[in-house]
Amino acid sequence: MSRRRHRRGFTLVELLVVIGIIAILVGILMPALNSARRQSRTLKCLSNLRSIGQAFVLYAANNQRYYPIGRHMRDGVEQRWHDRLVLYVSSSTRDATVTNSADYDMLKTNSVIYGCPEWAEKEVGDAGISYARTGYSMQIYPGARDKSTTVLTTWALKTTSVNGTYYRADEWGKKGADRLLVADGYQDYLNVPSSARPDSGATNVINPAVQDWWPYTTGSTGTEFWVDGARHAKPGVSELNTYRNKYMNALFCDGHAETVSVRQAWQAIMDPGKDTATR
């Protein structure tokens, strides 16, 4: 008679050991995988910002060398900088398919203007205005700090209450490698609190003890710097950490894009090429 072989199964202890090993490996690998995912999204965001920079150049070439401004109020309708650029970031300009607002909406949501992958997860839009929050914000102080002792006169913003100014590409391009143009932000344009502008005297620096920035801002003090300083950071990073560490992306006026800190973003808007932001 042939003997029947009995297969020996795993014991409960062996199964628990295997499960424990898998859990340990997952615990080791997950932080690395999350970090790689964040890095990939950061690089995609930087690529999108460079494409937006090219759109500014194309827009200027077709508009007497002027860049768009942050907002332009005309006949009661508010146009934003990305409304002006949307045709320059889509192939639809070649086949003339953009004829109505629905076409614009389609282009916006399928273009680099809404291109930061981290913003897609963070965005919490208010009813009626979320369309204006693309995740990227244009700065509105092209003349700071060279043009005037009063930064308010250099605003590239036209609304019902602010009479802003258009500036040519060559004016934006002064100190272009140091001057920020567009950055990770939660509004359509970047506001710098009055206490942190060069014309405010001794307090003309971005200061973590005085100013706030998203996502930490309370929205009630009037001292908010409208940048998303933690856009590409790991969850839980502190506000003070974002002040000096590089967790947000920015496009500069010479066309390059890089990851910067909140401190560097303020410097690149208010006093490009210098190092006057101190805590």
For residue 130, give the amino acid letter. S
Q: Which residues of 197-226 are buried (b: 16+ CB within 10 A; e: fewer)?
A: bbbeeeebbbbbeebbbbeebeeeeebbbb
pLDDT of residue 193: 86
Query: What's the distance, Cα to Cα, between the start and end of the chain in Å?
Result: 89
Instruction: Name the nearest CA neighbour of 38 among 253, 247, 275, 266.
Output: 247
Q: What does the pLDDT read at residue 127?
A: 45
What integer pLDDT is reported at residue 241 of this predicted model?
93
- Could you please report the per-residue DSSP string of 161-217? S-B----BHHHHTTTTTT-EEEEE-SSSEE---GGGSGGGGGG-S--TTT-EETTS-
Contacts of 232 (CB under 8 A, 6+ apart): 38, 41, 42, 45, 118, 184, 247, 248, 249, 259
pLDDT at residue 150, rounded to an integer: 58
User: What is the predicted pLDDT for the residue at 128?
Assistant: 47
The tens place of each residue's pLDDT in the chain, 279 residues long, gives 555 565 666 677 778 888 888 888 777 767 767 778 888 899 999 999 999 999 999 999 999 999 999 998 776 777 889 988 988 886 544 444 556 666 666 666 678 888 898 886 666 554 445 667 889 999 999 988 776 555 666 788 887 777 888 999 999 999 999 999 999 998 899 988 888 888 777 667 888 888 888 877 765 556 889 999 999 998 889 989 999 999 999 999 999 999 999 999 999 999 999 888 866
Burial of 150 (0-12, 13-18, 19+ CB in 10 A): exposed
Q: Which pLDDT does position 111 carry in this prediction?
A: 81
* Residue-level pLDDT at 119: 86
Cβ contact 243:251 at 8 Å: no
Model pTM above 0.95: no
The predicted structure's pLDDT at residue 84: 87
The domain ranges of the chain are 14-270
Query: Residues 6 or more apart from 112 whose CB is under 8 A from it?
Result: 48, 49, 51, 52, 89
Residue type, 210: V
DSSP assignment of 19-78 equals HHHHHHHHHHHHHHHHHHHHHHHHHHHHHHHHHHHHHHHHHHHTTTTBPP-SEEEETTEE
Residue 27 has a pLDDT of 76
pLDDT computed for residue 96 by the predictor: 46
